Amino acid sequence: MDILGKLFGSAARVAIMRLVLANTPGLPLAEIEKKSRINKKTTKRELKMLATIGFLKLKKKTVLPNFDFAYFEPLREMLVAFPERQELTKKLSRFGKLKLVVISGSLLDEPSPGADLLVVGDRLKKRALEQAIGQFEAGLGRSITFAIMDTPEFIYRYGMYDKFVRNMLDFEHEKLICAAELSTKLGWV
């Protein structure tokens, strides 16, 4: 995110652009302030600048994307994609001993198998993980459905052919972290 923030002038601008690009029907101004987690003054300043260059349109208290903006599609491809895999794993690793982190669904631009993110580990600080994921959502400009499980619960649910766990692993997914001991225990090696 820091790279894009520097490239585009500010992290706030990138967050707002992502929200607009990911929510093409348009969003109420209040929702942009809430989802981006940026203060009102900064949000209004960035929206005004983006409207001035023609990236978006401001209609009363609604922000609409300008599909006629010359760089709309290239920006959408660049900003709505999910290249921050290392940043996500680094951020989540601070809140416990991670054994498995799986992304799928909207994070891979695929239909959702039930969740976009699965975090499995030991000694997890679930409240802190939820807050970190919330901050990540704000930066991405869209909601992420996620599940957090302790390792024994995951192993049990995997062994019982739990529909949620199996869908996460049977549909298109990417393992960002997969501990060797978990792979061995589940026969993935």
Per-residue pLDDT of 119-145, as tens digits, reads 999 999 999 999 999 888 877 777 889
Q: Do residues 155 and 180 share a domain?
A: yes
On whether both 43 and 96 belong to a single domain, the answer is no
Which residues fall within 8 angstroms of residue 100, CB to CB, at 6 or more apart? 118, 119, 120, 121, 154, 175, 177, 178, 179, 182
**What share of the chain has pLDDT > 70, as a percent?**
94
Residues β-bridged to residue 146:
117
According to the model, what pLDDT value does residue 188 have?
81
* Average pLDDT rounded to a whole number, residues 19-29: 82
User: In terms of domains, do 46 and 119 share one?
Assistant: no
How many independent structural domains does the chain possess?
A: 2
Average pLDDT over residues 98-102: 95
The CATH number of the domain holding residue 61 is 1.10.10.10
Residue ranges making up the domain that contains 173: 85-186
Asked whether the whole model's pTM tops 0.75, one would answer no
Mean pLDDT of the region 147-163: 95
Q: Can you give the CATH number for the domain in which 98 is found?
A: 3.30.460
Contact in structure between 22 and 81 (CB atoms under 8 Å): no
Is 90 exceeded by the pLDDT of residue 178?
Answer: yes
Residues 47 and 130 in one domain: no
Based on the fold, state whether residues 130 and 151 are members of the same structural domain: yes
